[in-house]
Structure 1
Amino acid sequence: MENKQSSQEWHASFTDKQQPKVPVRVGIAVAIGVLLWLGPFNGVSSILNPAKLANIMGGAGSKVNSFLAILGTIGAVVSTLTTIIIGALSDRTHSRWGRRTPWIVVGSFLTAAVMVGLGLIKTEQQLPIFILLWCGIQTFINMIVAPLLAVIADQVAPMHRGTISSIYAVGFVIGQYGGPVVGGRFLSNANPGLINTGYFVFAFLILLSGPVAAILLKEPSSMGMPKEKLDLSGFVRAFIFPIHKVRNFYLALFGKMLIVITTTAFATYQVFFLTSGMNLGSSEAGKYISLMGTATMITAIIFSSTAGPVSDKLKTRKWVVAFAALLISIGTVLPFIFKSPVTMIWYGVIAGTGSGIFSSVDQALNLEVLPDPETAAKDLGILNLANTGAQILAPVLGAILFDMVGKNYMPILPVLAVVGLLGAGMVLMINEHKTV
């Protein structure tokens, strides 16, 4: 059955009986959409921004690091707030093009415009403008992110969500790892201005994100959606954290946050595990990081594309997510046990497998713990706190552990592995196929 909703027969989601066939077109749309926003965003945030700031501020050093830390913290706070607000507004959007399409298209245009502005920054005196523009990107890109994720809840029946989440995850993984690779092509000692070209290229790709996804989605009209008065109870329902039937929801949120803290903290300190912990030089450490990154990307792509359909057949999400967290924890503790640089590559293989499984099946799990399909985008924005919260908390946890264990990075690893296992435990406490 095709995804057809007339304005008179609007509904927020599909049941398994209404959608016996996998809606592959929706999967392709969200995969291309996430690839075209995440790749440019990661390429800019991890490669072009540090390189541009080093050029502007007279070379890499503590000054640049401090500015990047401020930029990251402000960006995480802005992203956390705007993804919930935009998601809530998207849930309540009445238009002939649907609830999500107007936001996705307009968000891609605004994000692209602001990214061009970042590329035009040239002097240290313009850095306050740089911060404002970065906050603009964090805001406008959420006009793509929150509604695009909600499309899966809107247009995919529960029995197909593992498969569609896997297709989405392939685009996510390629964007996550491919964006920095493309960004690196715009770094040149001989031509520093090439960095600005990178911003413009990435802006063009983001500009395509919304329109391409919208054309593929063909989202039905939401004009038939019941209108709510935005009185106190309506405001609470639209914008505030859910409070009814939320046990599964919050277990998924905090379980995911613990697992993501494990992977984020490992990524933050990976250079120091090799240099300070294993006594390698910078160039040798860089070689192992490159090999580890390649192994992680390959395994993540393979398993993100297959784990979702497997979870559909097994009719479980939580056990697959918990298994993924177990693999991540095993990979995390290996360098501490063996203290050999080769174990970083094994981390890439084992934890990369876990990350691939996690990226697809956890998304399907998130969709199934939503308290109300009519507030899907807002609630998915709240679940995104697991990612933004982990970005803030992981470096803090690492710094605290570093001081506690006597200025040594390696003992951080078993603690991170335990944090990942605690996340798996919280996920296993979820009552599947129930909302309680």
Structure 2
Amino acid sequence: MSTPPPPESPSDGLPTASTVELLASTDVGGGLETPRKINWRVAIAITLGGMLWIAPYIGTLSVLLPSLVARVAPDDKVQIVAVLTISGAVLSLVTNIILGALSDATRTRIGPRAPWIIGGAAVGAVALYLLSTATAVSMLILWWCVYMVGLNAIIAPMVAVISDDVPAKHRGTVSAMYGVGMLIGATGAVIVAAQFVADPSAGLRIFAVCTALSAVVFVAFRPLTSNVNADRVKVSFKELARTFRPPTTGARDFYFALSGKFALVAGTYAITNYQFYILTDYIKLGESEISTIIAIGGGITLVTGLVFGLVSGSLSDRLGRRKPFVIGAAVLVAIGTMFPLIAPFGWAMLVAATFSGIGNGAYQAVDQALNVDVLPNPESAAKDLGILNVANSGGQILGPVVMSTLVTITGGYQAGFVAAGLLVIISAFLIMLIRSVR
């Protein structure tokens, strides 16, 4: 699921005309004029790049990592998955913001974003390969944490490209393409990972290659424009420390968007991270049945997510509205979490996958556009988007903590389903409170 700030928007979270014009016409990474029409090379670059970085992450986190942990430390698997998720998320919390700010300040002949994406992909690919060889819990934690650092070096700069290169009026469409790429990557990865339940190390090696390809594809499609002549930004420990300073002026809606994302991610990851164990320990399925359920569920999520993602992104731009799509998506995801609670059977997981596919398809298509729309300051876009991504990291910390704690206390997953559903409903309420975006 990361510069000293110039003057911020003077209103209470409401973008001024000059702010909208700046977002539509300038490159915050290099100060270059941006075309007012969609640059399809940029759209394709972030769509395919996003697909290729998220596939290894979701496939590993939801299927291969729990399977590997169950082999390395079967007696403590629930707690170890929580430790892995929390440690990786804490690293993401820090590195996404720092790397986003460094990306904003980078001046090279291939622009501010590409060097970080290339380096992050290389580190992430090597870390996933080494994770596949781990036979001790300490090695699992080490290589997972290294992978998360590399992954965030891809994510923070790549998301900022939407603010850099995409005019405001087209952000819903490009965000939808990015979201659809993410959806294809995430659900396709789950289907692929399901084929390696009995041999998670082989699946991890395949995902290592995908991670490397995310940078190759991004660089191949996005025009690499030099920004060496752009104004220099001093990079020092003091300045890096300032990147953790959240926006304070005109940032009301920024924080509602952050809180809403946090709650939704927490509710989603409470279940996603334990899908494998839910199927083995709660629904009592064998490995072959698990592979089938995960693969079919992934296919359902992919189809429904694609359809509703494409429709939602386009409608969001045409109607000039973001909130109804994000709120409706959260409600659908919440409904989906209730089916396994009511019926602990394989088919209930497939029904949940259907609701999740529809909800997450609409959410992924519009959420990134909503995030960009509530940024208080376009010239610190990567840094502020990195702060918004704290919601991803924080949610990935809270979700597994909630589920593992409730499983430990109650001895089952039922209370965890209820908690997950409540968190997602809270996210919908928080998004409703945003004023500056319709």
- C-alpha distance in 2, partners of 1:403/1:114? 31
Aligned match of 1:134 in 129, 133, 144?
A: 144
Q: Does the CA-based 8 Å contact 1:10-1:225 persist in structure 2? A: no
State how many pairs are aligned. Answer: 411
The TM-score with structure 1 as length reference comes to 0.82
Q: Does the CA-based 8 Å contact 1:14-1:157 persist in structure 2? A: no
Give the 3-state SS of the residue equivalent to 1:141 in structure 2. Answer: helix
Residue 425 in structure 1 maps to residue 429 in structure 2: yes
1:49 deviates by 3.7
Tell me which residue corresponds to 1:84: 97
Q: Does the CA-based 8 Å contact 1:46-1:180 persist in structure 2? A: yes
Percent identity over the alignment is 36
Give the 3-state SS of the residue equivalent to 1:432 in structure 2. Answer: coil
Tell me which residue corresponds to 1:294: 299
- C-alpha distance in 1, partners of 2:321/2:94? 31
- C-alpha distance in 1, partners of 2:363/2:139? 37
Residue 96 in structure 1 maps to residue 109 in structure 2: yes
Aligned match of 1:282 in 285, 289, 298?
A: 285
Give the 3-state SS of the residue equivalent to 2:110 in structure 1. Answer: coil
The TM-score with structure 2 as length reference comes to 0.82
Question: Which blocks of at least 5 consecutive residues in structure 2 are unaligned?
Answer: 1-24
Residue 397 in structure 1 maps to residue 406 in structure 2: no
Tell me which residue corresponds to 1:3: none
- C-alpha distance in 2, partners of 1:118/1:402? 27
Q: Does the CA-based 8 Å contact 1:13-1:155 persist in structure 2? A: no
Deviations 1:374-408 (A, max 9, x none): 2222222221122221222123334566688x666
Letter in 2 for 1:43: G
Aligned match of 1:61 in 55, 60, 74?
A: 74
Aligned match of 1:225 in 227, 230, 239?
A: 230
Letter in 2 for 1:298: V
- C-alpha distance in 2, partners of 1:416/1:349? 17
Q: Does the CA-based 8 Å contact 1:272-1:409 persist in structure 2? A: no
Describe the shift of the 1:233–1:48 C-alpha distance in structure 2 as closer, same or farther (beyond 3 A): closer
Aligned match of 1:243 in 245, 248, 265?
A: 248
Aligned match of 2:28 in 1, 5, 12?
A: 12
Aligned match of 1:262 in 267, 276, 281?
A: 267
Tell me which residue corresponds to 2:176: 166
1:70 deviates by 2.3
Tell me which residue corresponds to 2:85: 72
Residue 157 in structure 1 maps to residue 167 in structure 2: yes
Q: Does the CA-based 8 Å contact 1:13-1:373 persist in structure 2? A: no
Q: Does the CA-based 8 Å contact 1:316-1:432 persist in structure 2? A: no
Aligned match of 1:105 in 104, 107, 118?
A: 118
Tell me which residue corresponds to 1:6: none
1:65 deviates by 4.1
- C-alpha distance in 2, partners of 1:302/1:66? 37
- C-alpha distance in 2, partners of 1:141/1:94? 21
Question: Which blocks of at least 5 consecutive residues in structure 1 are unaligned?
Answer: 1-8
- C-alpha distance in 2, partners of 1:403/1:71? 17
Tell me which residue corresponds to 1:373: 378
Q: Does the CA-based 8 Å contact 2:316-2:366 persist in structure 1? A: yes
- C-alpha distance in 1, partners of 2:289/2:355? 19
- C-alpha distance in 1, partners of 2:272/2:144? 22
1:316 deviates by 1.2
